[in-house]
C-alpha cells in the first residue's frame, strides 16, 4: 500500500510488557488497528488475552510499552460487570449519565438489536447469563465509541443472538468503528480483517486474514 | 470526536442525582438487613431489657465528671440500640459498597467523575444510616419513654454511631477481600465496642480506656441527654469524628481503587495509556 493512503491508526500498542510477579504474560506485544477494522486476537486459555485487552483499555498498568488511542473507547469485559440490584433500564440510565448522553435512543436501539427489550424492567441479578452478557455489551456500546474492545463477547449467546451480534458488528464497521475481539475460538475466520495469535506474550498475524485490509500486528 | 462544551447537547441525566438515587437503592435492597431491622431490633431490646431488669447502675459522664445513678434496664436499652445500629448500618453499607466496587470502577472508566460518585455514595450512606438510627430509636419507645429531649439525645447518639459504622462498612467494603472478613470485623467490633460502654457486669465500667472506642462519644451523649439532662456536644462531635475518619480513609481507598488510568490529552491527539 502506498505511503499516505494508509488510514491513521486509531489504536496502536507498541512493545507491551506485563508480568505478574515473576511470570511474564506479555513480552513485547504490538498491535495497530485502523478505523473500520475488525481484528481478532486469538490465544489459548492463559495466553494473556484478557491482560492484553485490559492493557489496551487502560484498566491495567503495564510494565513497559505504550498504547496510543485516538477517539473514544468502549470496553466490554469478559465477565459482565453489572449491578445486581439495578434494572436493565437503570443501567442504561446510569451509563447515560456517565457518558453525559443527551438521550437514551442508542441504548434502546441496542437493546432492540440484541433482542432483550422484554427485560428492560428486570434487575440484573435475575437475568440469565446470556442476557447479562447482552447488557454488558450494550453498556460498552452506549456512547458509540470509535474503538471497541470485546473480551469473549459472544460467550453464552444462542445462535440467533450470535447472528444479531455479527449484524451489529458489521453495522459498526460500516460506520468506520474499529473493533478488537479477543477470543479463544474463532468459528468464522473470514469475518475478520486480521487474525492475530497471542503466543509467548507476542502477537503474530495469521496469513489467512482478508486481503486489502492490511494491518500490522 | 470531541465537541466544544458550548455545542454539546445537554445531558439527559445529571451525574450526582443519578448516583445518589442508585446508591440509596443499592443500600436499601438488602433484604436480610431489612429483616434484621424489623425483627432483630425489637427482639434484642426485649432480651436485653429482661436480662438487665431494673438494677441500678453507676455511669460516669466524662465531660462533667458526674456519676449518674441510673436504671440499668434503660441504660442497657441504649447500649442494645447502639449495638443493633452498629451491626445493621455496618452490614448494609459494607455489602453494598463491596458488591458495587467493580461496577463503580466501570462507571468511572465510562466518564463518571470520581468526586461526584464519592459525594453521592457518602450522602447515600448518611441517609441510610440516619434511617436505621431513627427506626432503632423509635423501636425503643415501647420499652422505655424518656422525655422528648432525652429521646432526641438517644436518636443523636444512634445517628452518630450509625454514621460511624456505616463509614466503617464503606472502609471495609473497599479494603477487605472476602465477605466473611468484613462481617466478622463489623459484628465483633460493634459487640465489643458497645458492650464495654455499659457498666452492667463489665469490669472495665467507667474506666478511661473506654474513651478509645467509637461508641464512647455517642453513648456519653445519649446517656447524658436522657438521664442527666445535659447535652454533651463535644462527645457527639467525638462520635462524628470517628465517622469522618473512617469515611475519609475509605473514600481515599475507593478513589485509588476506582481511578481511571487513561490520561486524556487535547482533542484529536492520541490518548496515551500509562506504563
Of B18, B103, B274, the CB nearest to A61: B274
* Model pLDDT, residue A2: 45
Residue A211 has pLDDT above 50, yes or no: no
**What percent of chain B stands above pLDDT 70?**
91
Which of A120-124, A136-140, B6-10, B180-184 is the least confident region?
A: B6-10
For B97, the closest chain A residue by CA position comes to: A83
Tens digit of each residue's pLDDT (9 = 90 or more) over A126-138: 999 999 999 999 9
* Model pLDDT, residue B171: 95
Residue B232 has pLDDT above 50, yes or no: yes
* Model pLDDT, residue A212: 38
* Model pLDDT, residue A184: 79
Query: What is the value of ipTM here, to two decimals?
Result: 0.87
Terminal-to-terminal C-alpha distance of chain A = 16
Which of B64-68, B168-172, B219-223 is the least confident region?
A: B64-68
Q: Which of residues 241-260 of B touch A (CB under 8 A)?
A: 260
Tens digit of each residue's pLDDT (9 = 90 or more) over A55-111: 998 888 889 998 888 889 999 998 999 999 999 999 999 999 999 999 899 999 999
Tens digit of each residue's pLDDT (9 = 90 or more) over B27-50: 888 888 889 899 999 999 999 988
Are residues B273 and A58, on separate chains, in Cβ contact within 8 Å?
yes
Residues of chain A with Cβ-Cβ distance to B119 below 8 Å are none
Of B13, B272, B274, the CB nearest to A96: B13
Of B11, B103, B260, the CB nearest to A97: B11
* Model pLDDT, residue B56: 86
> At A150, is the pLDDT very low, low, confident or very high (cuts 50, 70, 90)?
very high
Residues of chain B with Cβ-Cβ distance to A82 below 8 Å are 103
* Model pLDDT, residue A88: 97
In this prediction, residues A153-157 reach a mean pLDDT of 83
Secondary structure (H, E, C), A110-175: HHHHHCCHHHCCCEHHHCCHHHHHHHHHHHHHCCCCCEEEEECCCCCCCHHHHHHHHHHHHHHHHC
**What percent of chain B stands above pLDDT 90?**
61
Of B15, B22, B106, the CB nearest to A90: B22
Are residues A94 and B18, on separate chains, in Cβ contact within 8 Å?
yes
* Model pLDDT, residue B265: 38
Residue A209 has pLDDT above 70, yes or no: no
Contact status, residue B50 vs residue B127, Cβ threshold 8 Å: no
DSSP state of B40: I
In this prediction, residues B261-270 reach a mean pLDDT of 45
Interchain CB contact of B7 with A (< 8 Å) = no
Interchain CB contact of B9 with A (< 8 Å) = yes
Residue B203 has pLDDT above 60, yes or no: yes
Contacts of B201 (CB under 8 A, 6+ apart): none
Q: In the predicted model, what is the mean pLDDT of chain A? A: 88
Interchain CB contact of A17 with B (< 8 Å) = no
Are residues A70 and B269, on separate chains, in Cβ contact within 8 Å?
yes
**What percent of chain A stands above pLDDT 70?**
93
> At B261, is the pLDDT very low, low, confident or very high (cuts 50, 70, 90)?
low
In this prediction, residues B107-123 reach a mean pLDDT of 91
> At B6, is the pLDDT very low, low, confident or very high (cuts 50, 70, 90)?
low
Interchain CB contact of B22 with A (< 8 Å) = yes
DSSP state of B263: B
Are residues B110 and A98, on separate chains, in Cβ contact within 8 Å?
yes
Interchain CB contact of B109 with A (< 8 Å) = yes
Residues of chain A with Cβ-Cβ distance to B92 below 8 Å are none
Contact status, residue B34 vs residue B205, Cβ threshold 8 Å: no
Closest chain A C-alpha to B22 CA, distance in angstroms: 8
Instruction: Find the helix or strand (DSSP H, E) in which A190 lies.
Output: none
* Model pLDDT, residue B106: 93
* Model pLDDT, residue B5: 53
SS3 label, residue B120: helix
Distance (Å) of CA A175 to CA A171, B9, B198? 7, 22, 70
Choose the mutation target among B101, B270, B274 for the interface with A, i.e. most A CBs under 10 Å.
B270
Amino acid at each position: 500500500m502506498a505511503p499516505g493512503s494508509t488510514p491513521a491508526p486509531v489504536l496502536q500498542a507498541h512493545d507491551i510488557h506485563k508480568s505478574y510477579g515473576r511470570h511474564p504474560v506479555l513480552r513485547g506485544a504490538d498491535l495497530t488497528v485502523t478505523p473500520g477494522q475488525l481484528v481478532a486476537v486469538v490465544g489459548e486459555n492463559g495466553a494473556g488475552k484478557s491482560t492484553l485487552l485490559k492493557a489496551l483499555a487502560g484498566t491495567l498498568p503495564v510494565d513497559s510499552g505504550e498504547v496510543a488511542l485516538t477517539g473514544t473507547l468502549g470496553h466490554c469485559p469478559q465477565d459482565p460487570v453489572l449491578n445486581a440490584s439495578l434494572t436493565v433500564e437503570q443501567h442504561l440510565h446510569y451509563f447515560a449519565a456517565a457518558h453525559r448522553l443527551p438521550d437514551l435512543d442508542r441504548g434502546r436501539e441496542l437493546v432492540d438489536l440484541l433482542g432483550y427489550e422484554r427485560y428492560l424492567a428486570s434487575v440484573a441479578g435475575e437475568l440469565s447469563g446470556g442476557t447479562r452478557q447482552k447488557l454488558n455489551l450494550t453498556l460498552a456500546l452506549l456512547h458509540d465509541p470509535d474503538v471497541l474492545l470485546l473480551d469473549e463477547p459472544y460467550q453464552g449467546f444462542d445462535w440467533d443472538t450470535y447472528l444479531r451480534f455479527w449484524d451489529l458488528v458489521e453495522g459498526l464497521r460500516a460506520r468506520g468503528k474499529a473493533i478488537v475481539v479477543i477470543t479463544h475460538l474463532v468459528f468464522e475466520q473470514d469475518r475478520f480483517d486480521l487474525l492475530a495469535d497471542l503466543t509467548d506474550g507476542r502477537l503474530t498475524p495469521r496469513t489467512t486474514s482478508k486481503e486489502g485490509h492490511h494491518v500490522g500486528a | 470526536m470531541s465537541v466544544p462544551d458550548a455545542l454539546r447537547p445537554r445531558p439527559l441525566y445529571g451525574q450526582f442525582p443519578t448516583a445518589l438515587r442508585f446508591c440509596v437503592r443499592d443500600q436499601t435492597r438488602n433484604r436480610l438487613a431489612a429483616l434484621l431491622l424489623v425483627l432483630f431490633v425489637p427482639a434484642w431490646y426485649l432480651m436485653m431489657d429482661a436480662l438487665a431488669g431494673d438494677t441500678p447502675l453507676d455511669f460516669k459522664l466524662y465531660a462533667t465528671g458526674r456519676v449518674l445513678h441510673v436504671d440499668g434496664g434503660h441504660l442497657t436499652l441504649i447500649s442494645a440500640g447502639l449495638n443493633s445500629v452498629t451491626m445493621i448500618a455496618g452490614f448494609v453499607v459494607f455489602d453494598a459498597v463491596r458488591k458495587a466496587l467493580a461496577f463503580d470502577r466501570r462507571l468511572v472508566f465510562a466518564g463518571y467523575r470520581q468526586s461526584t460518585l464519592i459525594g453521592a455514595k457518602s450522602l447515600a450512606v448518611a441517609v441510610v444510616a440516619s434511617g436505621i438510627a431513627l427506626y432503632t430509636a423509635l423501636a425503643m419507645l415501647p420499652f422505655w419513654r424518656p422525655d422528648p429531649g432525652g429521646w432526641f439525645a438517644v436518636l443523636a447518639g444512634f445517628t452518630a454511631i450509625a454514621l460511624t459504622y456505616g463509614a466503617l462498612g464503606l472502609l471495609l467494603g473497599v479494603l477487605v477481600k472476602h465477605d466473611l472478613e468484613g462481617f466478622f470485623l463489623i459484628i465483633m467490633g460493634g459487640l465489643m465496642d458497645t458492650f464495654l460502654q455499659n457498666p452492667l457486669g463489665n469490669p472495665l465500667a467507667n474506666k478511661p480506656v473506654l474513651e478509645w472506642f467509637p461508641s464512647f462519644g455517642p453513648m456519653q451523649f445519649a446517656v447524658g441527654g436522657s438521664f442527666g439532662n445535659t447535652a454533651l456536644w463535644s462527645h457527639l462531635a467525638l462520635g462524628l469524628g470517628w465517622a469522618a475518619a473512617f469515611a475519609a480513609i475509605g473514600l481515599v481507598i475507593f478513589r485509588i481503587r476506582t481511578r481511571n488510568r487513561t490520561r486524556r490529552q487535547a482533542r484529536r491527539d492520541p490518548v496515551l495509556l500509562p506504563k
